[in-house]
Amino acid sequence: LAKTTQPISMDSYEGQEVNITCSHNNIATNDYITWYQQFPSQGPRFIIQGYKTKVTNEVASLFIPADRKSSTLSLPRVSLSDTAVYYCLVRFSGGYNKLIFGAGTRLAVHP
């Protein structure tokens, strides 16, 4: 069964590092794991994607273990403007060739 699992919500304070994990079994072997950010009444915005190990860009890092059954989005030193919903996006294997968004994690950053 194609399924992803993310925490429903997380709270943090300005300046802290936040790690959000998405669990995903049976994902396509040769496909990226992607993360999006969404603010209220806006479309999702691409943050980062990776295939394995670690990827870093100017806004986030993505950690993917060797078994690829999960991925962790890391946001360094969050600010109030990072308050948003974060989705993982994966493609499942087994002929189910569809990209599926996780349920999303609501991150609230407090002063």
From the list 44, 52, 72, 74, which residue makes contact with other proteins (rule: CB under 8 A)?
A: 44
Instruction: Please tell me the distance from the alpha carbon of residue 71 to that of residue 52, in angstroms, as a whole number.
Output: 9
Contact 19, 80 (CB under 8 A): no
Cβ of residue 43: shortest distance to other proteins, in angstroms? Answer: 3
Cβ closest to other proteins, residue 61 vs residue 85: 85
Work out whether 83 is an interface residue with other proteins (CB under 8 A). no
Cβ of residue 15: shortest distance to other proteins, in angstroms? Answer: 28
Contact 60, 46 (CB under 8 A): no
Distance, C-alpha 34 to centroid of its chain: 7
Cβ closest to other proteins, residue 33 vs residue 107: 33
Instruction: Please tell me the distance from the alpha carbon of residue 40 to that of residue 35, in angstroms, as a whole number.
Output: 17
Q: How many residues bind other proteins (CB under 8 A)?
A: 21
Contact 14, 80 (CB under 8 A): yes
Binding residues for other proteins, per CB under 8 A? 31-34, 41-46, 49, 87, 89, 91, 97-99, 101-104
